[in-house]
């Protein structure tokens, strides 16, 4: 029994008790490298500008929508004045979404919304993939996945409204929105080994029993089989699945439906934090719904679809209040994520994960009913791509390509331009 327990322990099944000790070896392996991580969080359909932008220039969390982020006001940057100036085919939702991280035009295509010309996919790769490729090239920054594309309540359809990450021209990347699939992707192999290990004893005993049933000439085959089971057991015990941070336990019964979005969001964020803590990736997107998304946020007491509400005029007080509620909910999601990162020690560098992670919260529109691509609501948390922590109002309309360049620069990837050259002029953002 004791041997069995030791064996299971080697499997990493009981490592829950030892999260920090197990982290030590990797601490020694990578001491000098300053780890950088990036999470790009997206929420759709624009914000409510006068409830979003801070009222106190010295406190970036001083607005109803940003108030939940108050605990992080010292590590927070809010920038006003960034606009998506990419022109060409596609309606603004579409360009807002599919040009958001690429900074270049859409291909002409067959997808059309209520207005404008039809369009196709983005014509170049997105900044998260650019940074991923940069990190994966270097053995010291390479990770198992390179990047994760995580979704929350993203519908199973692929069009320019549902995709913001691109591996290249015409190569959209689908966000994985099922936490169980995500769990499998991250920990599936280890879990399989655990399950296999647990059936080896009965398997052996049945093989022995079966060997008694057959003629002596046939017994050898089953005895050989028994040896192979022993080999398997040894291999499993030699495979180390030890994680710096044990995988989160998921509630197994959360159906992928609209009403479960809050639980699903939490599961996805827990998995994301865990993946970062175990250094499975350093780049991730976290996409809530999609552009033109019609989430019905009944958990906030809102029955109508989000996109529908976002079209209501400013004078519609009910609608504006609902939109404020919706955006506060997104801010709370961000708060949860930041809190989880802050509470998680960084095994490699000491301190916590948030200190070495840039979180960017983005939206495809400035405002829903006007469909403006100006004054996109932009919040950075954690290491903030090394931008100063404060509320910045840019003096002139600034292309969002420059924000994307700033992100790359914070990883030591000194791009001169990203997406359209014209829109990259000025390079990374600077605040006077």
Residue 31 contacts another protein per CB under 8 A: no
Site string for another protein, 230-249 (x = CB under 8 A): -xx-----------------
Q: Are 333 and 319 in contact (CB under 8 A)?
A: no
Q: Does 259 bind another protein (CB under 8 A)?
A: no
Angle between helices 179-213 and 216-238 (to 10 degrees): 150
Among the listed ranges 129-137, 138-146, 227-235, 364-372, the one in contact with another protein (CB under 8 A) is 227-235
Query: Is residue 108 a contact residue for another protein (CB under 8 A)?
Result: yes
Tokens 């903030």 belong to residue: 384
Q: Is 203 in the site for another protein (CB under 8 A)?
A: yes
Q: Which of 8, 67, 167, 229 binds another protein (CB under 8 A)?
A: 229
SS3 of 103-156? CCCECCCCECCCCCCCECCECCCCHHHHHHHHHHHCCCCCCCCEEEEEEECCCC
Looking at 11-19, 116-124, 270-278, 331-339, which segment touches another protein (CB under 8 A)? 116-124
* Least distance between another protein and beta carbon 76 (Å): 37
Which of 257, 249, 330, 234 has its CA nearest to residue 287?
A: 330
User: What is the Cβ-side half-sphere exposure of residue 157, based on CA atoms within 13 angstroms?
Assistant: 10
Smallest separation, CB 116 to another protein (Å) = 12
8 lies in the site for another protein, by CB under 8 A: no
Q: By CB under 8 A, tell whether 225 contacts another protein.
A: yes
Q: Which residue in 213, 395, 396, 432 binds another protein (CB under 8 A)?
A: 213
CA–CA separation, 186 and 277 (whole Å)? 12
Kindly tell me which of 208 and 414 has the beta carbon lying closer to another protein.
Answer: 208
User: Looking up tokens 């197990």, which residue turns up?
Assistant: 22
Distance, CA of 214 to chain centre: 56
Interface with another protein, residue 256, by CB under 8 A: no
Cβ atoms of 273 and 137 within 8 Å: the answer is no
Of positions 196, 254, 389, 394, contacts another protein by CB under 8 A:
196
If binding means CB under 8 A, how many residues of this protein chain bind another protein?
45
Q: What value, to the nearest 5°, has the Cα angle with vertex 47 and ends 301 and 377? A: 140
Where do contacts with another protein occur on this chain (CB under 8 A)? 107-114, 118, 120-121, 156-160, 170, 172, 174, 184, 192, 195-196, 198-199, 202-203, 205-207, 210, 213-215, 217-218, 221-222, 224-225, 228-229, 231-232, 252
């Amino acid at each position: 029994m004791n041997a069995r327990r030791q064996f299971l322990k080697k499997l990493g099944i009981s490592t829950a008790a030892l999260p920090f000790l197990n982290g030590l070896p990797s601490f020694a392996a990578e001491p000098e490298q300053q780890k950088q991580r990036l999470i790009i969080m997206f929420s759709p359909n624009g914000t409510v500008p006068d409830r979003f932008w801070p009222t106190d220039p010295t406190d970036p969390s001083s607005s109803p929508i940003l108030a939940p982020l108050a605990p992080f006001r010292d590590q927070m940057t809010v920038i006003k004045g960034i606009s998506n100036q990419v022109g060409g085919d596609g309606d603004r939702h579409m360009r807002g979404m599919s040009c958001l991280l690429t900074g270049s035009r859409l291909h002409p295509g067959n997808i059309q919304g209520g207005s404008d010309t039809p369009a196709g996919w983005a014509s170049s790769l997105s900044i998260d993939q650019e940074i991923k490729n940069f990190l994966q090239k270097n053995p010291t920054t390479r990770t198992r996945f390179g990047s994760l594309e995580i979704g929350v309540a993203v519908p199973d359809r692929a069009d320019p409204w549902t995709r913001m990450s691109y591996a290249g021209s015409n190569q959209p990347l689908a966000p994985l929105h099922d936490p169980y699939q995500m769990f499998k992707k991250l920990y599936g192999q280890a879990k399989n080994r655990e399950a296999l290990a647990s059936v080896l004893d009965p398997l052996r005993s049945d093989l022995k029993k079966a060997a008694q049933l057959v003629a002596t000439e046939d017994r050898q085959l089953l005895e050989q089989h028994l040896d192979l089971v022993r080999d398997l057991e040894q291999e499993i015990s030699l495979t180390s699945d030890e994680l710096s941070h044990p995988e989160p336990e998921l509630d197994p019964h959360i159906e992928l439906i609209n009403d479960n979005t809050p639980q699903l969001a939490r599961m996805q964020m827990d998995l994301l934090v865990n993946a970062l803590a175990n250094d499975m990736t350093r780049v991730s997107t976290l996409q809530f719904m999609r552009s033109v998304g019609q989430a019905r946020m009944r958990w906030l007491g809102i029955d109508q679809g989000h996109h529908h509400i976002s079209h209501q005029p400013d004078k519609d007080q009910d609608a504006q209040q609902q939109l404020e509620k919706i955006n506060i909910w997104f801010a709370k999601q961000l708060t949860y994520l930041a809190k989880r990162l802050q509470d998680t020690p960084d095994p490699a560098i000491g301190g916590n994960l948030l200190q070495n992670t840039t979180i960017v919260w983005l939206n495809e529109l400035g405002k829903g009913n006007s469909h403006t691509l100006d004054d996109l609501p932009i919040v950075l948390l954690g290491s903030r791509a090394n931008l100063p922590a404060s509320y910045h109002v840019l003096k002139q309309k600034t292309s969002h390509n420059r924000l994307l360049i700033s992100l790359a620069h914070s990883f030591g990837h000194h791009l001169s331009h990203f997406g359209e050259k014209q829109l990259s002029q000025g390079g990374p953002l600077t605040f006077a």
